[in-house]
Amino acid sequence: MVATTTTSSQASHGGVRSGRGVDTRPLIWPSVGVLLIWMIIPLALTLWFSIRNYKLDDPSITGFAGLGNYSYLLTDPSLTTALLNTLLLVGGVLIATVVFGTLFAVLFDQDFWGKGVARLLVIAPFFVMPTVAALVWKNLLMDPVNGLFAFITRSLGLGAITWFSDMPLFSIGIIVAWQWIPFATLILLTAMQSLDREQIEAARMDGAKAVSRFIHIIVPHLGRPITVVVMIETIFLLSVFAEILVTTSGGPGDASTNLTYLIYKNALLDFDVGLGSAGGVIAIVLANIVAFFLVRTVARNLDA
Amino acid sequence: MATVALKSVKKSYGDINIIQGVDLDIQDREFVVFVGPSGCGKSTLLRMIAGLEEITAGELKIDGKVVNDVPPDARGLAMVFQSYALYPHMTVANNMGFALRLAGVPKAERDAKVKDAARILQLEPLLQRKPGQLSGGQRQRVAIGRAIVRQPKVFLFDEPLSNLDAALRVQMRIEIARLHSSLAATMIYVTHDQIEAMTMADRIVVLRSGKIEQVGTPLELYHYPANVFVAGFIGSPKMNLVPVKVQSAGADGITIVLPGGGTAMIPVQSSNAAAGSAATLGVRPENVAISADGPIAGEITVVEHLGGETLVYVNVGEGPFITVKAGGDSAANVGARVRLSLKTDEANVFDTNGAAMVPKVRKPLADLEKRGH
Ligand SMILES: Nc1ncnc2c1ncn2[C@@H]1O[C@H](COP(=O)(O)OP(=O)(O)O)[C@@H](O)[C@H]1O
Ligand SMILES: [Mg+2]
């Protein structure tokens, strides 16, 4: 939803401000039109449902709820938790992917034997469906009885960690990061390959050792691609869902419930479409606030 | 004091030998130009001196000390790259001061040195700009400034002017020559452009496929190329290289059969030239003239009027066209049948293997040094 909102607004912008004498607006109307319908109809329906009393399991309750759904949601303590969880998840995964993505990009930019295969392997998780990835992590790796991690920690005499009950959000974060590090690596690796070798050599002649070169040449060079990674990932990370559904179902309690999952819980588990829609509207508003700031910083960064 | 000495320096990538044994002594404050066609290994050789490329075999000495295993920043060199390689996120001042900053030079001293270099290169108004906001020529200056700030023993340039337009190139050429005399530093300059080599060098090193073909002053190379390759590479317009046959070799020189059957006697030592063997006559366009009693006959194919001079290309039946450099007032017409005469004492003869035969008399000018040491 957020993605379509931002792209369409940028697209229409670009069309109007074409530098040439030709009016390009008619040319982009068809696609803008499709995007608008695509976006407007679900948005309108969501808005409409959000002010209605609409429970799937009780058709007798109908009529306008006014802002009742909203006030219920905004005063519900689980919304605050969900917001906080969303921010933690997005922030944590962003940090992890950027840090590991940068390290992998620098590493895989070097020449070493088996580079091709190694690159393929580091990219591979990106092609695994979120549901499958979560299942693999839950059952094969993090399972406290049969999991690989438990096997390792036990053979070291440390006992097993019950990942999803002791640190549910962190565990989900690990899974999501595992899926998104390849994306960051891919983008940053491409950026690394466009780094002028002579710049690195000039830095070597100037007396910069590996660490100084990383700090003074590579990190500034990766500044823009990192902003791009952050922006794109944020859009997707705000709506993480499958990983939560498959592993913790938002629990224990609501310890790993994010906004998306809360909406799902309200709308489909509790059969309250009105409440779910109101949550959706809140999510849209929040996502657009985030997107607004992101696009602004990125645009500034890309201009510089 | 900064001398650079290479002793049978070699470089190979796997089985491919890129540099095949180079011996060279570069004196203090000398301006040496490596010139050669693209891919001959000029950059590789320069990068080996810089320490950016490992030396496979042989010895590299700077100031008499072997530096094969010394890292680039400890060799006391500075390099100007073809792409300038400025740090795009740093201002001009920070670009120039980067090495000093890494070396822990205090800020005040650093700023003073950067200001100094900026003044020499007229970069002062640009110090707070980023490289992206500079023109090509200004970036070039910053790259040179970054080298100057470090006060290196030896400056290395890798085709620094090849990204500039023609007018700017001439201007920067003069500027680098001026810097060379004012900084009194040793400079090694790589280019594929023989005009840059001729105009800037104290000594030119002509490279081909990783081997030195000849080392000498510009005029030495111009007048006495050691072989056909150097003869064809140095000089613009190119030297005429005419396939000929040896008729006889005597004490005064060699008599050759020219295209069309005419003969000419060239005063070179020709003891080992067998009668009837193939040879190459090398004669510069300015040493060929259109004259009624010349030994070569041909037809004018192309005439290029350059204003001050005229280049006339003459088809002599066999071999390549012969280029004649005539005066700007030449009345040569395309299609006219003409005869060509040669200044035989300015001509070179190359044997079957392409090596030059030693001339009987040597011009004093060829051994002229640009400046006394
Ligand atoms: N890393 C490398 N691996 C293999 N061959 C290389 C490498 N770098 C350069 N070469 C080869 O070395 C030769 C000389 O290159 P270079 O020194 O750049 O030539 P120049 O500067 O004279 O144009 C070229 O034929 C090039 O293909
Ligand atoms: Mg080169």
Summarised one tens digit per residue, pLDDT across range B62-74 is 999 999 999 998 8
User: Looking at residue A151, what is its pLDDT?
Assistant: 84
Q: Look at residue A15 and tell me whether its pLDDT is greater than 50.
A: no
Q: Residue A173 pLDDT > 70, yes or no?
A: yes
Q: Is the pLDDT of residue A271 over 90?
A: no
Its ipTM equals 0.81
Round to whole Å and give the CA distance between B102 and B348: 54
3-state secondary structure chain B: CCCEEEEEEEEEECCEEEEEEEEEEECCCCEEEEECCCCCCHHHHHHHHHCCCCCCEEEEEECCEECCCCCHHHCCEEEECCCCCCCCCCCHHHHHHHHHHHCCCCHHHHHHHHHHHHHHCCCHHHCCCCHHHCCHHHHHHHHHHHHHHCCCCEEEEECCCCCCCHHHHHHHHHHHHHHHHHHCCEEEEEECCHHHHHHHCCEEEEEECCEEEEEECHHHHHHCCCEHHHHHHCCCCCCEEEEEEEEEECCCCEEEECCCCCEEEECECCCCCCCCCEEEEEECHHHEEECCCCCEEEEEEEEEECCCEEEEEEECCCCCCEEEEEECCCCCCCCCEEEEEECHHHCEEECCCCEECCECCCCHHHHCCCCCC
Task: Decide: B37 in ligand 1 pocket, CB within 6 A.
Answer: no
Q: For residues B59 and B66, give the distance between their C-alpha atoms in angstroms, rounded to a whole number.
A: 7
pLDDT at A39 over 80: yes
- In the predicted structure, residue A270 carries a pLDDT above the cut 80: no
Which residues in chain B are contacts of A217 at CB distance < 8 A?
87
| CATH code reported for the domain at A69-303 | 1.10.3720.10
Residue extents of the structural domains in chain A:
69-303
* Locus of tokens 């008399």: B361
Pairing outcome for strands B211-216 and B240-249:
unpaired
Least confident segment among A229-238, B40-49, B54-63, B197-206: A229-238
Higher pLDDT: A61 or B106? It is: B106
Q: Which two tokens stand for residue B274?
A: 């067998």
Q: Is the pLDDT of residue B372 over 50?
A: no
* Interchain pair A196, B85: CB under 8 A: yes
State the closest ligand 1 atom to the C-alpha of B210, by its place in the atom list counted from 1. 14
Q: Which residues of A touch B50 (CB under 8 A)?
A: 205
Nearest CA owner, ligand 1 atom 27 = B39
Of B71, B81, B89, the CB nearest to A202: B81
Residue A83 pLDDT greater than 50, yes or no: yes
The residue behind tokens 């072997």 is B66
CA distance B5 to A219: 38
Give the nearest partner residue to A199 out of B82, B85, B102, using CB atoms: B85
pLDDT, tens digit, 9 for 90 and up, residues B342-351: 999 889 999 9
Q: What is the mean pLDDT of chain A?
A: 83
Say whether pLDDT at B120 is over 70: yes
- Any atom of ligand 1 within 6 Å of the Cβ of B11: no
In the prediction, which pLDDT does B369 show? 65
Least confident of A102-116, A132-146, A290-304: A290-304
Average pLDDT of span B146-155 = 91
Asked if residue B188 has pLDDT above 90, the reply is yes
Find the CB nearest A212 among B83, B89, B102. Answer: B102
CATH class belonging to B240-370? mainly beta
| Spatial separation of the C-alpha atoms in residues A232 and B109, rounded to whole Å | 45
B122-144: average pLDDT: 90
**The pLDDT of residue A17 is above 90:** no
**Closest to B268 in 3D by CA, of B233, B295, B244:** B244
As a whole-number percent, the residues of chain B with pLDDT over 90 amount to 66
Distance CA A203, CA B101 (A): 12
- Would you say residue A1 has pLDDT above 60? no
| Euclidean distance between CA atoms B61 and B166, whole angstroms | 36
- For A171-198, what is the HEC assignment? HHHHHHHHHHHHHHHHHHHHHHHCCCHH
| Residue A117 region by backbone torsions, left for phi larger than 0, else alpha for psi between -120 and 50, else beta | alpha
Give residue-wise pLDDT tens across range A207-224: 888 899 999 999 999 988
Q: What local confidence, expressed as pLDDT, does residue A5 receive?
A: 41
Q: Is B42 in the pocket of ligand 1 (CB under 6 A)?
A: yes
pLDDT surpasses 50 at A7: no
C-alpha B74 – ligand 2 centre gap (Å): 23
pLDDT band at A278 (very low <50, low <70, confident <90, very high): confident
- Angstrom distance (rounded) from CA B338 to CA B292: 7
Q: Tell me how far apart the alpha carbons of residues B45 and B176 are, in angstroms, rounded to a whole number.
A: 21
CATH 3.40.50.300 fits B4-228, yes or no: yes
For chain B, give the longest Cα–Cα distance. Answer: 76
Residue A13 pLDDT > 50, yes or no?
no
* CB B38 near ligand 1, within 6 Å: yes
The pLDDT, as a whole number, for residue A6 is 41
In angstroms, rounded to a whole number, what is the distance separating the alpha carbons of residues B144 and B118? 10
Residue with tokens 């100037």: A206
In terms of pTM, does the model score above 0.95?
no
Q: Is B18 in the pocket of ligand 1 (CB under 6 A)?
A: yes
Per the DSSP assignment, residues forming a β-bridge with B359 are B268
Taking residues B32-49, what's their average pLDDT? Answer: 93
Q: How far apart are CA A178 and CA A189, in angstroms?
A: 17
Q: Give the mean pLDDT of A270-275.
A: 80
- Which A residues in the span 203-242 are in contact with B, Cβ-Cβ below 8 Å? 203-208, 212, 216-217, 220-221, 223
Q: Where in chain B is the domain with CATH 3.40.50.300?
A: 4-228
Q: How many beta-carbon contacts under 8 Å exist across A and B?
A: 59
Q: Give the whole-angstrom CA distance, residue B184 versus residue B151.
A: 11
pLDDT for residue B10 is more than 90: yes
Q: Which amino acid is at A217?
A: I
The pLDDT mean for chain B works out to 90
The rounded Å distance from CA B38 to ligand 2 centre is 7
- CATH 2.40.50.140 in chain B: give the residue spans: 240-370
Could you read off the pLDDT of A115-168 as tens digits, one per residue? 888 888 888 888 888 888 888 888 888 887 888 888 888 888 887 778 888 888
